[in-house]
Structures are given as C-alpha cells and as structure tokens.
Amino acid sequence: MSEATQGHYAHTKEAALLQGAQKGRRIKVVMLGAGSGFTEPLMTDILNIPALDGGELALVDIDTERLELAHQLIEKIVDIMGKRGSWTVTATTDRRQALPGADYIVNCIEVSGIEAVRYDYEIPLKYGVDQCIGDTVGPGGLMKGLRTIPVWVDVLKDAEELCPKALVLNYTNPMGMMCLAASLTSSMQVIGLCHSVQATSHLLAKHAEVPYSEMQWKCAGINHLAWFTELTHEGRDLYPILFEKARDPNSEFYQGDPVRCDVMLHFGAFVTESSGHLSEYLPYYRKRKDLLEKYTRSGYRGESGFYANNWPKWRKARDEERKQAISGEREIRTTRSWEYASWIIEAHQTGKPFVLHGNVINHGLIDNLPQGQCVEVAVMVDRNGFNPCRFGPLPPQMAAICRSNMAMIELAVIAALEKSREAAAHALMLDPLTAAVCSPEEIRQMTNELIDAQKDLLPGF
C-alpha cells in the first residue's frame, strides 16, 4: 500500500471513528442478582466509562425488597453523578423482561444460600470436614454448585434466545464450576471474574516494598488457586524478599496469610486467594485440631465457619448500608474501582485492548492442566470480546495441586447437570480436603445427608 493510500485510509478511518463517536455510544447492561454487594460498585464503574454516552442499567432480582433498595440506590448514584439525561435505571423480578437487547449481562445471583448456609457448614463438620468459606470447593462448594448451576443454565438459555451477542460476566461462585457448566451447555461468550488477582498483586507489591505500577508478574492456575510464577521489579526477582519475611512467623506478612506463606515456602510461589479459601483447596491444614491452631487465624485467614456465621449478618448490614446511602446518612463513592466489569465494557466498546485475569476454558492455554476445563489466565479484551492468552506449562508441583481440584470441579458439574448423587459423592471423594479426613463410605453418607437436608432446594434430586 502506498503512503498516499495509507494516508487516505487513515484519514477515512479517523473520520469514520469520529462520526461514530458523534452518534453516541449507548449500551444496555443487565445486572442479575441486583441484591448483591457488587451492584453498587459495578454500576458506579459503568457510569464512569468516558466513552459511553449513556444507556440502560437493568436490575433483576427475585427478592423484591432488595431489588427496590438497589433500584433506589442506583437511581441516586445516577443523579449524584449528573447522568440523569443519559442513563435510565429499570428494575424487574423477571429476567426475560430485562434481557432483550442486552449488550452485557453481569451475573451475581445467589440461589437459596441463606436457607442452606448452615447445612453446608454444619453437616460436613460432623464428619470432621472443617470449612472457612465453603463456597467454591469441598462440601460447601459442591452444594452451592448443585443449587446454582441449574438456574445458571436456564439464564444462559434465555440469553441465547433474547440477547445472543451479549458478553456474560460471571461473578457468582463456585467460579470454576459455573464457567465449566456454561461451556458445556451454552454458546454465549462467558468469562468468570474474581478480584483475587488484583488484590493479591497489590498485597505483594506492598510486602515487597515496590511501587505497584512498576512491578511485573505472571499469574495462572485456577480460580482461588492461581500462582504468581514470576514477580519482578526492574528485572530483580522479588521472591527472596518475600521468602525472608515469610520465614519469620511474627512478621506482618506471615501473620496476615499464614497458609499462603507456608504454601509459598514449600511450593515456590504465592497463591491468589486468602489463606482461608486456600486452606480448603489443600489436604494439609484443616484435618487436625493442632494444624488448625498452628496455621489458621481469625476471619479470612482460616477461621472455622467464618462464612456460615457471618454471611447472613453481612447481608443484613449491606441492606442497612443501602438504606443509609439512599437517605443521605452514608456518603456514596462515585469514583471508578479496579473491578474488571467496566474495563471490559470499555475495551469491547472502543476496541482499545485491556488485559485482565479471568476464568475461561483451557484450550491450549496451560499445557499441563486438563484441556476443556476452567482455568484462570490473562485475557485480552477488544471488540471481538474475550481473547485468552496462552501461558504454557505451570511448574509441575503447582500444576499438580490445581489438577487435584479440577477433578472435583468436573464431577461436581456432572452432578449438577445430571442430577446425580453418584457423581456428587465422587466429587467429594476426589476433593483434597474431604479425602484427607474421611473414608469413601463416610463421604457417601455425608453427601446423601447434605442432599437430603436440602431436597427442597434441589429439584430433581
């Protein structure tokens, strides 16, 4: 192509882009599970996208009281940010009413969790399986998957019919199970989003005492169990600094994350999720009282029953915070957060690439993890949607830890899709923590007890 032709092409392209910008860029975002704590920050983030001239924020929740609170709050944020003329907010309990014309679907649904959270924790504890969070793997993760995946599959079927070109952004756990189930049942473009990578990378920059913007790193694995395989600053390996701090049991680094520090010392890299979550993916830390006392601490550092005991309280507190924000008692944040949703939308709308770490299906992305299963890797977003980036092989010991959980996740998805008690029992027999504590016979008994206790919440079982 000649320089003259190139120049004419560039000018024409620039003019077309300008014309497109003048016409305005308007979108429709459907928020499923508007009662979620994600609604306020994610909708605020979207209102902050400079490339957009407006659109519709469609809120959906089957809980009418929480839906109304979310509706009032987002309407108020629209007003505070001066977006009333360009953005509209709608609310409905019927997702099929909201989905037509959607460009993006943000999934934050919770299926019967408030009714089941005690069962998910207390029944396994009778068998010696002690959980901190219990919503992504193990008995709690299995049961949440059995309750959630059938509804999720129906959501995706509706989306295929009503908005087949929409990008689907899933925030609901169990993340690996949700994304795998989507890949097996739907043609929608789906990505699983978690803030573990952002939060942990900031944490590591703090403890390595380097500016976050200058730190370079590589990270891959599965959700809540992705490994920072490289961590450098201006070509200098930061791991020796972190190893030194992790070897001191009294250091702020170790006390803040005892399990993650111990795993780093023995396996060679830091993992993305909190010590409490991580301890549930492993057979080492939660099988004896002395180990729990040595390696776990309060809250997300591994506290027994932390999620089961606090989630119902957090839910009520979230509703109170919304009421306070609506009444003006609480100041409302209007700045943009690091959550991925708005940055994905901006990249997709403008074509300006954005790289995030997301949960996608392993088609040649990580060599030594099972193909066709869900992995967490760098993903580039542009006008085409999600473009996962090849990572290559993980160090073998790290890959093996991931694989041990992926078998459980695969069987749990089969159990949810086929309504199979047998597959559910096999999922827990393959779960590293459950298998470290129980015999196969005990695991089968536990599985049946969990399902029988929640029969009303599990149609088909």
Residues catalogued as catalytic: 195, 281
Backbone angles phi, psi at 355, to 5 degrees: -110, 130
Do 112 and 146 touch, CB atoms closer than 8 A? no
- What is the amino acid identity at position 230? E
Distance CA 265, CA 240 (A): 11
Question: Ramachandran region of residue 460, left (φ > 0), alpha (ψ -120 to 50) or beta?
Answer: left
Q: Which residues of 357-388 are buried (b: 16+ CB within 10 A; e: fewer)?
A: bbbbbbeebbeebbeebbbbbbbebeeeebeb
How many residues are given for the chain? 461
Q: Is the peptide bond before 174 cis (omega within 30 degrees of 0)?
A: yes
One-character DSSP codes across 71-84: HHHHHHHHHHTT-T
DSSP 8-state assignment for residue 331: P
Do 155 and 131 touch, CB atoms closer than 8 A? no
DSSP 8-state assignment for residue 113: H
